[in-house]
Amino acid sequence: MSNPHAPLPTVPLATAPPAGTAADDAPDRRHLRRLVLLRWIALATMAGAIAIVQFSFEIDLPITPLTVVVLAAVALNGFTRWRISRPWPVRPREVLAQLLADTGFLAGVLYFTGGWSNPFVSLFLLPLVIAATVMPPRHAWTMAAVTFVCYTLLGFFHVPLPHVHHGNDDGFGLHVLGMWVSFVLSAGVIAWFVVRMAGSLRERDSELAAARERALRDQHVLALGTLAAGAAHQLGTPLGTMAVLLRDLEHDFRNDPDLGAELRRVREQVDQCKSIISDLVAAAGQTRGEDGRAEGIDTFLAATVESWRVQRPGIPLSLHLDGSMPPPRILAERTLGHTLVTLLNNAADASGEGIEMQGSWTADQLTVEIRDRGAGLEPDTLSRVGRLPVTTKPEGHGVGLLIANAALERFGGRVTLTNRAVGGACTRIELPLSALAA
């Protein structure tokens, strides 16, 4: 098959958002969402620990100031949840301010519960770890300095914890239990946050790699489009001259049926070339024919196949159409039609004895499979085509499927190519009909 198409990931095309929009700050907005979740967990744990110590261990804690600190943290979390839903951009300084607020709330709780002697004092490390993971270096060092100052001051200024009312050993046992709970909580939160951040970094790297690949491919497509527009203007005149001469020859040899039939076939091929040239010029923004029209998807597929049969009259093609009735109506797009013709030509080049095309649709999606009976494709070829020009024919240039893939991605579609178990290859197109809605 010429210009085969490898399985490609679905990468919807998107334009870059204007500076200052919510899409610009997606990482920082995700950080705030995670902070909201972590803060709810921390507040629930803190409230539970205060209740257990106060009522189960009968330790008299300063409930009023502790309640004020917890309620202030709840209010901040409610405000943050509302703020995330707003379209205003989220900047790293805002994330830093949230982390500093968390450190302040923790320092307030620890101030009223023993300072350094509180087994939960190691929770100071959590905001610092988060800042070091997601924030710019200067913000991470700011977080480290504030944490250091708060931790140091708690050693000299704090409200001592009251003694336990159950004996001398219970206080130490409670302290050890608190250290264990603090360690488990810290380890769980750090592991969860770091794993999520590592996943975000991998996702970003994958998106950057895909964007670089699309940019490289689009450079080839842009160059080809420029050449095609120039060639269209240059070929229009000679093709028009050939059409006029062929009509004259048909008239001169109208009494010779055999020669007349051959001349008509040649003229049909010339007319097909003129139609392709017109579509190339239209794609460049210089429309020569009528605009796309609305028609049923079954009619569009059947018309595309008939157009291809004019080009390749010697190749048998079996067409099967299946889907919901009545068929969805779409805007008959020239680009999509030419893409299907390109894929049919590739299949015909690999399988001269005949090919199959099956089109099926639902209310939301069109699926087209083009099957040939050729020799199939080598794994190395499958891994390279569709991203850069690759061809398996000595006279080919390997640009057909490159352009076809770019055209389908413009509509949010996807193309995959696989080898069939019975021999040959299968090209599968999946296209959302919302992009072609009439």
- Convert the pLDDT of each residue in 100-125 to its tens digit: 999 999 899 889 888 887 777 787 88
Average pLDDT over residues 51-74: 83
Residues contacting 161, CB < 8 A, separation 6+: 59, 113, 114, 117, 118
Mean pLDDT score of the chain: 75
Confidence of residue 76 (pLDDT cuts 50, 70, 90): very high
Question: In terms of DSSP H, where are the helices of 253-296?
Answer: 257-283
Better-predicted residue by pLDDT, 112 or 167: 112
* CA dist., res. 428 & res. 3, Å (int): 14
Q: What is the reported pLDDT for 17?
A: 39
Average pLDDT over residues 166-180: 56
Residue 183 sits at the vertex; the CA angle it makes with 180 and 185, to the nearest 5 degrees, is 110
Q: What is the reported pLDDT for 101?
A: 92
How far is CA 190 from each of CA 94, 120, 198, rounded to the nearest angstrom?
A: 21, 15, 12
Average pLDDT over residues 21-40: 74
* CA dist., res. 255 & res. 388, Å (int): 51
- In the numeric block, which tokens belong to residue 416? 């995959």
Average pLDDT over residues 386-412: 62
Q: Find the range with the poorest average confidence among 5-14, 86-95, 188-197, 226-235.
A: 5-14
| Residue of 30, 91, 5, 51 whose CA lies nearest to 401 | 5
Q: What is the reported pLDDT for 260?
A: 79
Is 388 in a helix, a strand, or coil?
strand
Confidence of residue 3 (pLDDT cuts 50, 70, 90): very low
Q: What is the reported pLDDT for 265?
A: 82
Residue-wise pLDDT for 288-300, tens only, equals 334 457 788 888 8
> In percent, how much of the chain has pLDDT > 90?
4
Confidence of residue 187 (pLDDT cuts 50, 70, 90): low
Q: What is the reported pLDDT for 386?
A: 54
Confidence of residue 335 (pLDDT cuts 50, 70, 90): confident
Asked whether the predicted pLDDT for residue 129 surpasses 70, the reply is yes
Q: Name the residue type at position 104.
A: G
> In percent, how much of the chain has pLDDT > 70?
71
CB 128 within 8 A of CB 96: no
Length of the chain: 438
Asked whether the predicted pLDDT for residue 165 surpasses 50, the reply is no
Asked whether the predicted pLDDT for residue 331 surpasses 70, the reply is yes
Residue 340 sits at the vertex; the CA angle it makes with 337 and 341, to the nearest 5 degrees, is 85
Confidence of residue 79 (pLDDT cuts 50, 70, 90): very high
Q: What is the reported pLDDT for 384?
A: 60
Average pLDDT over residues 27-40: 84
